[in-house]
Amino acid sequence: MALKQTPSQTVGPFFSFGLAPEQYGYAFASLAGSQLADASTAGQRIRITGRLLDGEGTILNDALIEIWQADAEGRYAHPADSRSSNAGFKGFGRMGTGTDPERRFIFDTVMPGATAGDGAPHVNIIVFARGMLNHLYTRLYFEDQAEANARDPVLQGLPADRRATLIARRDRQSAERVYTFDIRLQGDNETVFFDV
Amino acid sequence: MQDKPFNARDWSSHPPLSHPSYKSTVLRAPKIPLVPLRQNLSELTGPVFGHESLGSLDHDLTKNARKTGEPIGERIAVTGRVLDEDGRPIANTLLEIWQANSAGRYIDSVDQHNAPLDPNFLGGGRCVTDGEGRYRFYSVKPGAYPWGNHANGWRPAHIHFSLFGPSIATRLITQMYFPGDPLLDLDPIYLATPAAARERLVSRFSLDATETGFALGYAFDIVLRGRQQTPMET
């Protein structure tokens, strides 16, 4: 290789106006936000919500969460997916944890389908925050996709006692389909992070 | 036919997850090693933002938030190429940038540094590379600012960069610094980067990029992960 990778640096505490301006109330258009689906999007509507916790259990209010997912038929809106659709679902969301009173991230989207050559339906998550010199990758799987999860090579490749950290829990109290997924950066039940 | 996977993150180039002299890494770095993940379609794809994503002034931070006049500060033009590790240009890829104003103050309401806000400056912008991977934007040189990490700590002047490249595997957020800044050798964030890789974060003054009578030019190339040479086993 002729060239070396440019080093990563932290997103820092002051990304709001640059990366999520509309969410934080700055006069600059956002390229992406927390609403991935609109009225025309095909598929089962779901909400994904969660918090980011540090090694002492403190909930971070200065993190940025990005999600990347396939559409309801398991197609990524990207040229590398030969089944890629033109249906208008981009599959990318971005939200900071500094505006919700409970410091949650909240995404309204659709249940992804199983993707080509991959296992169970899942959402790819990238985590950024002050104090993180590199972003972290993790995946969210769905509690009520138990059969598919049991066959998923990524999940099944993990130590059994760590798999649960990647399973979003369905909120049975809610009439809507709401899945909760807390991300623990460190300590008890530390979330599985991947070296992608 | 699937695209070739991307090279791994080169951990001899990136800072460690935990770097205790940057204090807030201590509770935010995982203790368990990252789990290797074989790249599949989820990692070989990512969001696509092309030229159609941009507003007409997104690339000019000296103009995109004017209210009463021009922002105060030394005008700069920042340019460079986005390449992969094999030196191939990454065309039509988005760069998002954000920075403090020339006094070292961010417009972000979380920033409480007692330096003036500039009513004509937001500090956020975007551009997309051309067919040769080249980008260019205009701004004012950001100021240094104090932070609470350690006694009398000051961040060197910097511009934040966010890039996607062709997939989520090539995602990068970094900071561009300015040449000759005496604060670099005192900055725990800059110094967290392996010594052999640090200078890649420092832009170069460029007379070629300097615009006569208008703005000083700085050159900053960015290298994202390239593709592996042999296809992944299936």
Q: Which residues of A touch B23 (CB under 8 A)?
A: 131
Distance, CA of B106 to CA of B142 (rounded, Å): 9
Domain assignment of residue A71, yes or no: yes
What is the average per-residue pLDDT within B126-141? Answer: 98
What is the average per-residue pLDDT within B110-120? Answer: 97
Buried b (16+ CB within 10 A) or exposed e, B47-58: bbbeeeebeeeb
Domain assignment of residue A165, yes or no: yes
A141-192 pLDDT, tens digit per residue, is 999 999 999 999 999 999 999 999 999 999 999 889 999 999 999 999 999 9
Cα of A19 to nearest chain B Cα, Å: 7
Number of structural domains (chain A) is 1
CATH number of this structure's domain B43-224: 2.60.130.10
pLDDT band at residue B3 under the 50/70/90 scheme: confident
Q: Which of A59-68, A79-88, A148-157, B38-47 has the lowest mean pLDDT?
A: A79-88
Distance, CA of B227 to CA of B234 (rounded, Å): 17
What interface predicted TM-score (ipTM) does this complex get?
A: 0.96
A53-76 pLDDT, tens digit per residue, is 999 999 999 999 999 999 999 999
Domain assignment of residue A10, yes or no: no
Domain assignment of residue A58, yes or no: yes
Cα of B135 to nearest chain A Cα, Å: 16
Q: What percent of chain A is predicted at pLDDT more than 70? A: 98
The domain that holds A21 is classified in CATH as: 2.60.130.10
* pLDDT score recorded for residue B234: 46
Q: List active site positions of B.
A: 106, 145, 155, 158, 160
Q: Does A65 touch chain B (CB under 8 A)?
A: no
List A residues 37-56 in contact with B (Cβ-Cβ < 8 A): 54-56
Q: Does B21 touch chain A (CB under 8 A)?
A: no
* pLDDT score recorded for residue A86: 61
* pLDDT score recorded for residue B213: 97
* pLDDT score recorded for residue B231: 56
B145 contacts B108 by C-beta, under 8 angstroms: no
B160 contacts B185 by C-beta, under 8 angstroms: no
A24-50 pLDDT, tens digit per residue, is 999 999 999 999 999 899 999 999 999
Q: In terms of CA atoms, which chain A residue is nearest residue B111? A: A14
Distance, CA of A95 to CA of A60 (rounded, Å): 13
Domain assignment of residue A190, yes or no: no
Domain that holds residue A51: 16-184
Domain assignment of residue A1, yes or no: no
Domain assignment of residue A178, yes or no: yes
